[in-house]
Amino acid sequence: MERKPVEIHVYGAEIICPSCVNMPSSKETYEWLEAAVGRKYPDQPFIIKYIDIYNPPEDEAARSFAERVIEEDMFYPVVLLEGNVVGEGNPRLKTIYTELEKYGYKAV
């Protein structure tokens, strides 16, 4: 049975968040996450998108969540998996993997 790919959204900004000084940038986290998930779950499709909180796309849901990240002073990058926050500031792979496996992903 073909399942729909899970969507992972990484919300962040060019500037590193003030509370995240020694951590990778949002863009680096996005690239690292894309590679890590692809290695752990090869041949299991997923969609990952990077969304700049200061320049979000026209999509209403993305724009709305980007505003929320700014208004609530969330630590970014903020990682959403199917619309649920699974990481903030310094996302943990274990948490993201656990969430993916709830959607039927199997580690190789």
Q: What is the pLDDT of residues 46-76, one digit of tens each?
A: 999 999 999 999 999 999 999 999 999 998 9
Average pLDDT, the chain: 92
What the block records as the tokens of 64 is 């709305």
Classify residue 22 by its DSSP letter.
T
At residue 2 the predicted structure's pLDDT band, cuts being 50, 70 and 90, is low
| CATH number of this structure's domain 6-102 | 3.40.30.30
Q: What is the pLDDT of residues 31-44, one digit of tens each?
A: 999 999 999 999 99
pTM of the model: 0.92
Residue 1 reports pLDDT greater than 50 = no
What one-character-per-residue DSSP string does 85-104 give?
EEEESS--HHHHHHHHHHTT
